[in-house]
Amino acid sequence: MSNFVELAKLDDLKNNGASKVSIDGHTLAVVRFDSDVYILDDRCSHQNYSLSDGVADRDELTLECIKHGSTFSLLDGNPTCLPATRPVRVYEIKVDNNTVYVNLGDS
């Protein structure tokens, strides 16, 4: 896990929603559904609004920006509806012994 840094304990992250976590100059929206974790940049590509304040959808695997309603895929960061047209970055993660690690390097 040489490219991965420790982000948080799984149990410290909000379940069934998004948490804002800042680490090494990155502000991240961390979405947790039980043991499944997804990490995106915390800024909407439409108007630079915090995505961690938005609504996570477990069935659709999306995170909605509450500013204008754009939703982003938790899997690839692509917008799934307007007004956003540009993706947000997603991060590779690993969970080991209840600890979440994130790869902050180039993806």
* CATH label of the domain that carries residue 25: 2.102.10.10
Residues of the domain holding 32: 4-103
Q: How many domains does the structure of the chain reveal?
A: 1
Cβ atoms of 28 and 21 within 8 Å: the answer is yes
Under the banding of pLDDT at 50, 70 and 90, the label for residue 106 is low
Evaluate if residue 1 carries a pLDDT over 80: no
Residue 3, pLDDT score: 87
**Distance (Å, whole) CA 11 – CA 14:** 8
Cβ atoms of 51 and 84 within 8 Å: the answer is no
Beta strands in 15-84 (DSSP E): 17-23, 26-33, 36-41, 55-57, 62-64, 71-73
Span 15-70, pLDDT tens digits: 999 999 999 999 999 999 999 999 999 999 998 899 999 999 999 999 999 998 99
Span 85-100, pLDDT tens digits: 999 999 999 999 999 9
